[in-house]
Amino acid sequence: MSRKEALTKNKEIDLRQLFHTLRSKLWLIVGITGLFTGLGLLYNSQSEPDIYASSSRVIIAASNDMMTTVRALVREPIVLDQVIQRLELNASPGQLRSQVRVDSVEGSLITVISVLDSDPERAAQIANAIVDVYKNVAAETLGVGGIRLLTAAEPEPYPINVKSNTIVYVAFIVGLILSFSLAFLLESLDDSIRTEHEVEALLGLNMLGQVSRIRNRHTAAPAKKIKPGLMRSETIGS
């Protein structure tokens, strides 16, 4: 059995050993945790434009077979091109398409058309313009004239992408887990002998005692001088 295998087999894990590991690797734990937390703070501090959402609700009187096609028409270029021209938007149909979302209210004929934009007023204008154009295009191309506006879009004063500190907390926890894991990994790879139990496990002998560390101040103590009055001498032949 090799030296490393003998130490690993007989290694005892106790609270003192864990405390010693954490104390000796404290710089590693603090460094990695601080690094990940700093990266989280840096990412969270990046400025992003506020995004506002505005929605209009319409009811579509169409059969179940036609409903999917009628709803998909909302985001088609034949509708979006006219909206861009009407509002004089500086965007392509593809860009505007990425800002538009169409959702159906389950179990009903109601459809919600939502628009995301950095300007709340413009988001509401786009949503309402889409409904107006969409009704005409659906009637002309699909022959569906039963589309009626239920609720017009209005500007929302609050953005939907409010920043939170969740990413910072997650970065802190990830850094803490990684630093603890690395600390115990390095400790498990360290096969140096530090305690008398490891010596007994390695040699198979019982220790009778141990020599304490001798400090320099104990070995470098100057010899005491003998006072002249305490010295005795005898004269030869007296």
Residue 196 CA to its chain's centroid (Å): 43
- For the segment 175-201, the average pLDDT, to the nearest whole number, is 74
The dihedral over CA atoms of 142, 144, 149, 150, expressed in degrees to the nearest 10, equals -120
Under 8 Å between Cβ of 57 and 112: yes
| Structural contact between residues 155 and 120, judged by C-beta atoms closer than 8 angstroms | yes
Q: How confident is the model at residue 7 (pLDDT cuts 50, 70, 90)?
A: very low
The amino acid that residue 140 corresponds to is E
Q: What angle do CA 151, 157, 158 make, to 5 degrees?
A: 110
- Distance, CA of 119 to CA of 28 (rounded, Å): 46
The span from the CA of 109 to the CA of 144, in Å, is 13
- Rounded to two decimals, the pTM is 0.56
H/E stretch holding 56 reads: strand 52-60
Largest Cα–Cα distance in the chain? 148
> Per the structure block, which two tokens stand in for 226?
């003998």
User: pLDDT averaged over the chain?
Assistant: 79
Q: Phi/psi at 25 (nearest 5 deg)?
A: -105, 20
pLDDT band at 6 (very low <50, low <70, confident <90, very high): very low
Q: Which residue from 86, 57, 61, 80 is spatially nearest to 152, judged by alpha carbons?
A: 57
- One-letter identity of residue 2: S
What would the pLDDT profile of 120-167 be if each residue is shown by its tens digit? Answer: 999 999 999 999 999 999 999 888 888 899 999 999 988 887 777 888
- C-beta neighbour count of 143 within 10 angstroms: 9
Tell me the per-residue pLDDT of 56-90, one tens digit each, with 9 for 90 and over: 999 988 888 888 899 999 999 999 999 999 999 99
**Which amino acid type is present at position 82?**
Q
d(CA 210, CA 192): 18
- Decide if pLDDT at 31 tops 70: yes
